[in-house]
Structure 1
Amino acid sequence: MSRGRKRKTDKGTFSEDSMRQAVETVLKDDINRRKVSLRETALQYHVKYQTLFRYVKKKYMITCSKMCYGRSTKDFRELAYEMATTNNIKIPHNWQDNKRAGVDWVQGFLKRHPEINIL
């Protein structure tokens, strides 16, 4: 076990403030009906594209649930499947057959994240 391990690279590190600004830029412009490219925003704020995408999706789900416009369970399950396949995460066979996450997975996820409301 090592004490005081030091990072050898700055890979995977980003400023919390720059990530917050990038997410707000994407969501603000999306609300104003002016589509902003995630890739351009990621380059502008010096954050990784995939990380920004993940933060925007999370922020979007929380924003929708706060506006009482939570996504349906079916939409939520399809989004989980899409994110898992995009990120090459190992998933159960029934997810691949149905093209969406399972009901048990959604229930477990909502227990871990009570701030998200879905219909």
Structure 2
Amino acid sequence: MVRNYKRKTDRGGWSEEEMKLAIQEVLDGKKGYKSASKAYNVPQTTLERKVNQARKRDNNILQVKVPLGPITTVFSEKEEQILVTYLKEMEGRLFGLSTSEFQKLAYELAVRNYKQHKFNGLKEKAGKNWLRGFLNRQPDLSLRKPENTSAARAGFNRVSFGKYWLCRSGR
């Protein structure tokens, strides 16, 4: 599997919003295919195909952008942001996850949410390529082997424990 793919064409590089606007212009009869494709900088043949699909659905525009090729991400952008938030929260609680633990977490999440995936069912964890792609999509995140933190460094000592215990017990 290619890990650092560099795109060679601009196929599918048009904006989804511009395509929707161009489709609406053609459906309303305000512009033709050629002028709408030039005005909104979208391919004319793609515009024609999308307009025909919309006409078959009674001028209803549903899905404009489709993925190129068979490979898609397992989780949506929103779900990946939830994973990132979870990882940062666990790190803030001094319970950082290792890469192996995170791969197992991703596998469990995919299975429980009935997501289509190509993760290893025997090891029950996501693969290294998925992990690398996830980390590339989340540049503010880096997973490392968690280090032990002393209780004193975490701010947990006799004085703070005594204050905590007094507050909890109501004394």
> Greater RCO between the two (CA within 8 Å, min separation 6)?
1
Q: TM-score, normalised by structure 2?
A: 0.34
The structure that is helix-richer by fraction is: 1
Q: Which has the larger radius of gyration?
A: 2
Q: TM-score, normalised by structure 1?
A: 0.47
